[in-house]
Amino acid sequence: MTNMRIRVVGDTLPGVDPNRPLLEVDDLHVEFRLRGVRIPAVRGASFKLELGRTLAIVGESGSGKSVTSQAVMGILDTPPARITRGEVRLQGVDLLALDEETRRSVRANHIAMVFQDALSALNPVWSVGFQIGELFRVHRGLSRAEAKTRAVELLDLVGIPDAKNRVGHYPHQFSGGMRQRVMIAMALALDPEILIADEPTTALDVTVQAQIMRLLKDIQNDRNMGLILITHDLGVVADVADDVAVMYAGEVVERAGIRDAFKRPAHPYTKALLRAIPRVDTIGQALEVIRGLPPNPASLPSGCPFHPRCFAAEDQCAEAVPPWLEPASGHGSRCHFAEEVYADER
């Protein structure tokens, strides 16, 4: 697949600036309000996605990855969730400032999402062809026959064998990997500029995982989309991502190009995640683990939230919140000692 097109978001969303990054998330804050208690789930997340590139957002469960992606999509359940601060800009247009009808149009035409549990995301009482075709009937005004034809084309695109006959099958009649392909077909139906894939290979075996990731990459190259990959699997990230944002306790603690993140990580949490990856040169040895557990977002530790688990922590880590440091290279980190890494880079 080599067809690289120039995307024009402004066709249906006026006011865009094609010279701006495709997506910019700036100082995003999300909290949950439960029984009068405010629980911060995302605390000042910032990153950007360029046209045709893949941004991986990584971190342990509970780090804020999925909440961030749902905030970008505009599908957080409110209440209890609430975006309290920040901007989500699509080529310069702040999506959080739009009315709900316009946001719904953006979700339909510009940003799509592949959820991690395809069986729960698909409606069990409708055929997959009907569910894909509904997007064309509602948003493009196609007839039922035309929508079915487009659904067959999409199923064929994502590698469903015998798509013409399987278009009438129900979700339970597909394997886990095939259901994930159906979800990808639905996400691609309206030709979005941005695709968010939230743990797209969860519960799939290694071979199917590789097939799904290869499919996503091929489609991205063909359509020149921006891809946000939400994952905890750094092995997958190394193969497909261009840039990476590492999240911990609701914050982006490191942001870098994929080469910098793997070759010269600046934050101890990123280093710990990398050390926990199984490698061929450590066969027979015990895997390194990150001691302790992620903090409760309702009662975060003082200073750097990672310091109770950090192998390099010093007194100031428990006393002072580390600043965000980002030299001209664009490799940024929230750590008191990141300057040492950046000094080596220079």
- Tokens at residue 148, please? 């079915």
The residue segments making up the domain with residue 260 are 20-110+192-345
Model confidence over 219-278: pLDDT tens digits? 999 999 999 999 988 888 988 999 999 999 999 999 999 999 999 999 999 999 998 887
**Regarding predicted confidence, which is higher, 144 or 107?**
144
Q: Does any domain span residue 160? A: no
Q: For 78-88, what is the mean pLDDT?
A: 95
Q: Does any domain span residue 121? A: no
User: What's this model's pTM, rounded to 2 decimal places?
Assistant: 0.91
Q: How many domains does the chain have?
A: 1
Model confidence over 193-213: pLDDT tens digits? 999 999 988 778 888 988 999
Query: How far apart, in whole angstroms, are the C-alpha atoms of residue 148 and residue 138?
Result: 13
Q: For 160-181, what is the mean pLDDT?
A: 96
Q: Does any domain span residue 56? A: yes
Q: Give the whole-number percent of the chain exceeding pLDDT 70.
A: 95
Q: Does any domain span residue 229? A: yes
Q: Does any domain span residue 119? A: no
The dihedral formed by the CA atoms of 131, 229, 49 and 330, expressed in degrees to the nearest 10: 180
| CATH assignment of the domain containing 311 | 3.40.50.300
pLDDT confidence of residue 5: 41
Angle at 195 between CA 167 and CA 124, to 5 degrees: 35
Number of residues written out for the chain? 346
Q: Does any domain span residue 7? A: no
Question: Who contacts 303 (Cβ-Cβ below 8 Å, separation ≥6)?
Answer: 316, 317, 318, 319, 320, 321, 322
- Tokens at residue 134, please? 């509904």
Q: Is 293 exposed, middle or buried, given 0-12, 13-18 or 19+ CB atoms closer than 10 A?
A: exposed
CA 183 to chain centre: 15
Q: Does any domain span residue 157? A: no
